[in-house]
Chains A and B, each alone.
Chain A
Amino acid sequence: MPKIEVHENLFNSLLGTPYTDEQLEAVFPVAKAELDGHDVAEKLYKIELNDTNRPDLWSAAGVARQLVSYRDKAIARYDFFSTAEEELDSEGRRLVVHESAALVRPFSIGFAATGKVVDEEILLNLIQSQEKLCNNFGRKRKTIAMGVYRSDMITYPVHFEGADPDKAHFVPLHMDEDLTLREICAKHPKGLEYGPIVADKPVFPFLYDDANGVLSFPPVINSARIGAVEVGDEHLFFEFSGTGLDDLLLAASIVACDCSDMGFTILPVRCEFPYDTDYGRMITVPYYFQQPAACELGFLRKMLGDALSGEQVVDALCRMGVFALVDENMVYITVPEYRNDFLHPVDIVEDVMIGHGLENFAPELPNDSTVGRITEEEAFARKVKELMVGLGFQEMMYNYLGSKREYIENMHVDGSDYIQIANPMSENYEYVRPSVIPSLLESESVSGHAVYPHQIFEVGKVAFLDESDNSGTTTRNYLGFLGASSDMGFNQLSSQISTLFYFLNREYVMQEMADPRFIDGRCGKLVSKGVEVGIFGEVHPAVLESWGIAMPTVACEIDLDLLK
């Protein structure tokens, strides 16, 4: 979930009137936002945004816009968008994408903004927007990278090309040295972090102006000159590069609307491509690319369980900042410039729900009659647990992930059919539990202080490799139990197994076998109806020693899925 920090002054000026924390908490759900904290000393609100599909809300202006439209029932209007039908005047500002860009990062678009002096709060806000859009929405700059530049230093047109990484060079931000693009990848902290996105390409993205002034090496780092925006700057150029045009146009729209809300005048830039795009070879940005969306009124009412009138629906959407009209049985909406999350009519339904107010829908109990039941496995497990408790055992519950030491080394087995995690966070959680016995022995190893005798059990899942399954693995429901005390031995274990099988009403025989976990000649398998269903025995002192256990221990494990 994206979290943002918003300065009080900026937020209040965007809202028009200041809100108390309580008031904010009450209205935030409209933006699926939560007030995470309010640092009164630093004058910062900490806000968590829950909708990962609404990047327009990840900024002070975005949250404020949503709250204001809900409060005032007013839709924000922006007049700087070009459309397929109407192209605004870009006054000679152009961004030219060269053919070579297709080899590494096919799209770059931009727009300019002016008329407002960048102050500390605005600068921090822009940096935060860049980070949220590029990291959270742009998959760590893979699909969206954004740069802000000093527009007054740029000689249009701006050029975007795939450049020779060993020839193109400039002085990157926060450095004094003139480096080639490849050197930046090796030396600059941002190069180390984001260089890998383009490292295997024959050419690297390169943004420069018509006077050969370098803007940046997207998606890695700006130049130290044109790319060093500071407090006091008044003329900005925004550029977005990436792999998909829709994401870039949306990101540009969001930033343009935010800047406009903060007092900037947005200046369109004509972006030219040497190849066809969904919106032609020439796109004037900010560009409204969204398609209208619609929803059947009947579907909307059925989903909400409420026969809202057409007027109520239009009102609700208006509060969400969405222009709508109802014609016959259809709701038609104009998708706001800064949103692109209407995939399906249900997305309109949710906006109506929020705009209408969740508190205005009265809960009703589902009236379909259905029969409740637990699974067969659960029913059998309960029977087994009841018997184990009757035999004097304490039920335990364990984690299902463990270490190589616990599952393999301490058990003196090779672990060849165990499931291993490819990307363990720690060696403590590297294997999936193949057996309950290591879990029980872990208990024993940490419970020397508990009064003896120890009799413990667990009914739980284990998993291991199994070629016959589609996944190559199998998950089983197992019973494992263990006894430890100075006089614990084979005879007692044998009696317990016999009692358990008697009351489960299953026949079994014990067959001798050798298993490194147990003492030879005091270990066997349990065979029921000709199928091996379990193993039991006195735990081998070598195993006990590995676990640091100083008490005679017996253990048994049964595959309940084979027995039920």
Chain B
Amino acid sequence: MEIDVRNLHPLEIRLLRHVSPGEAVTAQRLIDELDYKIGQCNQAFSWLTAKGFLEETDRKFRTLFELTELGQQQLEIGTPAQRIFNLLKSKGPASLPEIAEELALEKSDVGSAFGMLSKSGTCRMGEGNKAEAVAEKAPAEVLVAAKVLEKASVEALDESALDEEERNFVAKNSKKRGAAGSPLKIIEREEVFFALTDAGANAKAALLAANITGEELGSVTTSMLSSGSWKQASFRPYSLNTPSARLIPGRRNPYGSYLQWVKDKLCSLGFEEFDGPLVENEFWNGDALFMPQFHSARDIHDVYYVKNPSHAKQIEEPYLSQVAQTHENGWSTGSRGWRYSFDHEFTRRQVMRSQGTVLSAKTLPHAKVPGKYFGVARCFRYDQVDATHGADFYQTEGIVLGEDVNLKTLLGLLKMFAEEVAGAEEVKYVPGYFPFTEPSIEVHIKHPVLGWFELGGSGIFRPEVTKALGIDVPVLAWGLGIDRMALMHLGLNDLRELFTPDIESVRMRRGN
């Protein structure tokens, strides 16, 4: 396996350079000889074994003794036995309670320490139940204790390095668990032995040959730059394929971005955007579109009614009168009308906008000729919410006004949408039906992924719609099924997902 030794970490490099084939490599050795911390040893071992440069040769258990807080204290002020002996020597005989009080020791500690002192013959219980010292020097045990604590304060004691006296003391004064009351704590440590493999030896040779020392510079620091110290050293190459940490950026919603793209596309095709309120009345939501007031799509089971206020205050004239007469007898639109009595109360009934075409109709009275308009309108339908129906959703709709627009320009417009907005390969037109357009056309496209599907509906607004709203030129009206393409763009298949409240899902979402 070809390994670029420049990609090795300094901890690996220094280890490889330091040890020779056949030598035992242990954590302790690295700590002693290379000043590694125990964590660094583990990192170096795990990386180098993974690369096959080191192999484990053996592992042994070691018992170590470590100074506890109490041991540290005893090291500083002496063990209870030492202190009792010193007290009796300097202040003369004293009872055990007096000793405990004087030295601020637990009575039980005083008892066991005095037991050891009297057993060694250096103290005894004299008159009046008072303890007294009878030897010049403290007993050997006390001296051993001081020596052991001293050594343990430098580094944890290895059982194998103790003599018999020391071992005796340690045995009596250490615990594995709950060692707070003892000066020493027992630690059992597993020591692992490693050795260089052949590959490791090769890497070592390569490092030496390339003169890579592991002392190369890591992060560029401000002091490095201001002092110019980098000039005397070389930079350590970083491993480029280390997994990177996750960032959470501020981000647009991809569905929003897609709708914005559609808007920009339509603008680039010469369309001006329109918008309007969410609450509409029956006049604009249906009457102005020449949908008879008894039309099935205007049923209470198709449109959301606003509870309060249930009716708009008024409908703008002259449009109300013109539309009402158009429904009743065609007015001057050339139509015979629907021949029923127009309900002036019903027309003020307030509903949640149910179709984007409402905004097209509302644009007509003040539209420019020629003019092109579009809107991405939130609409509301009385529908069971499922994967293909939302309680509210966007419709993308628009109109084209012009003296000379006609069926052929409508087909041309649809072809342009199919190619520019949907990226269609093939386009097919079939007769359709909408209450407000005649003729009506559905445009179907062949999409590279989805195959044939209906891209949208369109037509030429009926004169009953346009003339009643004061427009005398033909008006092309169109609507595109943008949500279907948005789902495809986002790799989703459930409309409800477009408005998901789930933060993680939106964070991870990408467009195609």
Contact = CB atoms under 8 A, between A and B. Distances in A.
B412 A447 contact: no
Contacts of B346: none
A420 B279 CA distance: 11
Nearest to B246: A451
A167 interface: no
Given A395-B256, A446-B502, A390 B409 contact: no
Given A349-B439, A364-B412, A401-B380, A395 B252 contact: yes
A372 B370 contact: no
Interface in B438-490: 438-441, 460, 462-464, 474, 476
B130 to A, nearest CB: 63
A232 interface: no
Interface string A376-408: 011000100100111111111111110000000
Interface stretch (B41-49, B101-109, B229-237, B333-341): B333-341
A362 B336 CA distance: 32
B413 interface: yes
B31 interface: no
Given A374-B263, A470-B313, A400 B270 contact: no
A389 B251 contact: yes
B275 interface: yes
Contacts of B502: 443, 446-447, 450
B307 A422 contact: yes
A347 B462 CA distance: 9
Given A344-B334, A432-B352, A451-B248, A370 B272 contact: yes
B55 interface: no
Nearest to A135: B296
Given A346-B438, A425-B383, A465-B309, 4 more contacts: A50-B432, A344-B463, A350-B439, A471-B279
A422 B306 contact: yes
Given A370-B271, A422-B306, A305 B406 contact: yes
Contacts of B248: 392, 394, 451, 453
A439 B240 CA distance: 42
A347 B439 CA distance: 7
B261 interface: no
Interface stretch (A5-13, A259-267, A454-462, A515-523): A454-462
Given A346-B463, A372-B271, A471 B312 contact: yes
A92 interface: no
A482 to B, nearest CB: 10
Contacts of A305: 406-409
B307 A344 contact: no
B408 A375 contact: no
A30 B433 CA distance: 12
B314 interface: yes
A366 B507 contact: no
A442 B330 CA distance: 50
Contact of B251 (A394, A439, A453): A394
A369 interface: yes
B273 A398 contact: no
Contact of A393 (B250, B378, B407, B439): B250
A370 B273 CA distance: 12
Contacts of B296: 52, 136, 139
B277 A450 contact: no
Nearest to B405: A366
B437 to A, nearest CB: 9
Given A344-B463, A395-B252, A421 B306 contact: yes
Contacts of A16: none
Given A362-B408, A372-B372, A423-B305, A346 B460 contact: yes
Contacts of A375: 273-275
B408 A395 contact: no
Nearest to B313: A470
B415 to A, nearest CB: 5
B250 A391 contact: yes
Given A420-B308, A421-B306, A450 B504 contact: yes
Interface stretch (A37-45, A202-210, A472-480): A472-480
B391 A429 contact: yes
14 contacts: A50-B433, A139-B296, A343-B337, A344-B463, A350-B440, A365-B416, A372-B267, A374-B264, A395-B251, A395-B252, A419-B306, A423-B382, A463-B278, A472-B313
A455 B431 CA distance: 49
Contacts, number: 280
A400 to B, nearest CB: 5
Contact of B277 (A366, A444, A455, A463): A463
A505 to B, nearest CB: 21
Contacts of A78: none
Given A370-B370, A389-B251, A389-B252, A421 B304 contact: yes
A371 interface: yes
A302 interface: yes
Contacts of A347: 438
B329 to A, nearest CB: 11
Interface string B423-440: 000000111110100111
A423 B312 contact: no
A32 interface: yes
**Of B280, B382, B438, most A-chain CB atoms within 10 Å:** B438
Q: Which 10 A-B pairs have the closest CB atoms?
A: A305-B406, A368-B370, A372-B267, A305-B408, A472-B309, A363-B411, A450-B504, A475-B277, A350-B439, A447-B503
Contact of B464 (A344, A419, A423): A344
A353 B431 contact: yes
Contacts of A346: 438-439, 460, 462-463
Contacts of B391: 399, 401, 425, 428-429
A29 interface: yes
Interface string B362-387: 00000010111000001010111100
B431 A354 contact: yes
A373 B279 contact: no
Contact of B408 (A306, A374, A453, A454): A306
Interface string A344-362: 1111011001100011011
Nearest to A484: B503
B273 A373 contact: yes
B250 A353 contact: no
Contacts of B360: none
A381 to B, nearest CB: 10
A443 B501 contact: yes
Interface in B163-202: none
B266 A372 contact: yes
A283 to B, nearest CB: 18
A53 B338 CA distance: 11
Interface string A142-153: 010000000000
B38 interface: no
